[in-house]
Structure formats: structure tokens, C-alpha cells
């Protein structure tokens, strides 16, 4: 009996970690995958890699991966930029919004299964995969990035732990 060929690979931990880990898995499993590294972003040249999102609330989303990059606040995680023909969308799969990320090698497809488990500390709505997330550096409360930054700019504190916070000019929240 020949060993069963691996056609599906769980890359959830790599995606939650950083883009270079994702690229390593992609290059090891997709023969001849071409990409260009531009600073911290990996631009996929031939756009052959597909990505689909199965989510409870918003239905299915599917497109081609354009680039894979770092999250802007330099925290852990990976941003995927997806071209679904009508627009370019960025998704940030994190433990708050994603159940699993699986690479289907035969279909050249990354399948993201979402589950929103966390509510934004500012607006109270679920944090979804298309939302950029930021955390309080002290209590690690999560919120939509824009909501948290607006809140801290106005109140100079965390909405949950109430400790003093501030926002830098590039949108990084720090302990004041």
C-alpha cells in the first residue's frame, strides 16, 4: 500500500504567526509558485492561488491571492489581499475570527473557515474576517482597529481596563 498523498494541509498556525511562514508552506507544496518580496510583502506573480472564505454570516467569498503581508501594527498575523474581480479586499485571519486555514494543494486553494467568537470592545459587534483588529497592550481586549483608535484618541484610555493609552501618528496604540 502506498502512503496516502497529502492534498490538504492545515496552515492555521503559520497564518496566525507571520507571512514568511505561510510563504514557506506555499513554496514547499505548490510547485513553481512565483512571488516577489517587496519589503515585508510577498506579491504573487502569476495569481494562480485561490482563496475562499466560508463564513456563517456573510456567505462565501472567493478570489485570487494578490499579495500576502504583515499586519500593520507589527503584531503577529498575516494579511491576505484578495482580488475577487470586482474589488481588492484585505483579510486578516486571527484566532478571534478564524477557525481553520487549510491549503488544498490540488486545487491550489486556501480555504479559510471563519467563526466570529469575539465582539469589539467599542461597538459590541462581532469581529469578522474583513475587519482589522487591534488589542489593548495591557488587557489584550480586542476591538475593530478604527473603533479602538478613535476611542483612545478621544478618551486616552482602554474601554475595558480603563488604563491610560495613547495612539502614535501611524496608528499604534501604546501605554501612556
Binding footprint of Zn ion on the chain (CB under 5 A) = 120, 122-123, 136, 138-139, 141, 144, 147, 158, 160-161
Taken in order 87, 110, 13, 159, the sign of the CA dihedral is positive
- Cβ 114 to Zn ion, closest distance in Å? 17
Cβ contact 103:22 at 8 Å = no
94 burial (CB, 10 Å; 0-12 / 13-18 / 19+) is buried
Q: With respect to Zn ion, which residue has the nearer C-beta, 89 or 163?
A: 163
Q: How far is the CB of 163 from Zn ion (least distance, A)?
A: 6
Contacts of 144 (CB under 8 A, 6+ apart): 120, 122, 123, 125, 127, 131, 132, 133, 134
Closer by beta carbon to Zn ion, 14 or else 132: 132
Q: Which is nearer to Zn ion, 65 or 133 (CB)?
A: 133
Name which of 105 and 138 has its Cβ closer to Zn ion.
138
**Torsion sign (Cα): 174, 122, 18, 169:** negative
Q: How far is the CB of 11 from Zn ion (least distance, A)?
A: 28
**In the complex, minimum distance from the CB of residue 55 to Zn ion, in angstroms, rounded to a whole number:** 17
Amino acid at each position: 500500500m502506498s502512503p496516502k498523498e497529502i492534498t490538504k494541509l492545515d496552515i492555521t498556525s503559520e497564518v496566525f504567526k507571520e507571512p514568511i511562514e505561510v510563504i514557506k508552506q506555499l513554496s514547499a507544496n505548490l510547485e513553481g509558485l512565483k512571488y516577489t518580496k517587496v519589503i515585508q510583502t510577498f506579491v504573487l506573480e502569476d495569481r494562480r492561488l485561490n482563496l475562499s472564505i466560508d463564513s456563517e454570516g456573510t456567505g462565501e467569498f472567493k478570489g485570487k491571492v494578490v499579495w500576502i503581508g504583515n499586519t500593520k501594527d507589527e503584531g503577529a498575523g498575516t494579511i491576505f489581499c484578495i482580488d475577487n474581480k470586482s474589488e481588492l479586499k484585505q483579510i486578516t485571519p486571527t484566532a478571534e475570527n478564524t477557525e481553520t486555514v487549510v491549503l488544498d494543494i490540488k486545487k491550489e486553494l486556501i480555504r479559510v473557515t471563519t467563526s466570529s467568537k469575539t465582539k469589539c470592545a467599542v461597538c459590541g459587534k462581532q469581529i469578522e474576517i474583513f475587519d482589522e483588529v487591534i488589542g489593548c497592550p495591557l488587557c489584550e481586549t480586542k476591538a475593530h482597529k478604527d473603533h479602538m483608535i478613535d476611542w483612545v484618541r478621544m478618551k486616552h484610555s482602554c474601554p475595558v481596563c480603563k488604563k491610560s493609552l495613547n495612539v502614535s501618528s501611524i496608528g499604534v496604540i501604546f501605554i501612556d
